[in-house]
Structure 1
Amino acid sequence: MQKLTVLVLAVVAVSGCAQVKPWERGNLSKDVMAWQSDPLKGSLDNHIFFSKEGSSGGGQAAGGGCGCN
């Protein structure tokens, strides 16, 4: 029973992988496929977060906790 469970889980995990054809890559590069739909808002949110957090290096913003670059 355990071997069957492992086999089913392995098949499910591998079935999520798919090769993208060169002519399909244009669909993946559209704005609706982006993690952040508004890059300016994302940049501002990162800047505010790292300014309040007092750290840098985990994102795109650089600088100290003072809010200046």
Structure 2
Amino acid sequence: MSGCKSVAPWERGNLAKMQMEIDPHPLQSEIQSHNYSSREAAPSHKSSSGGGGCGCY
């Protein structure tokens, strides 16, 4: 399949919508990623060293 296709000017607005982006909510995705990595890197309640968190909220 070829990726080259001419798009009419009145159709370009549909391609510019936020839903057409690869990541439509980049800030929300970044916050979720930060929270996930923070929980996974948290120290376990059974050890004093870092890492090994259970991922609990």
TM-score (norm 2): 0.41
Whose helix fraction is larger, Structure 1's or Structure 2's?
1
TM-score (norm 1): 0.36
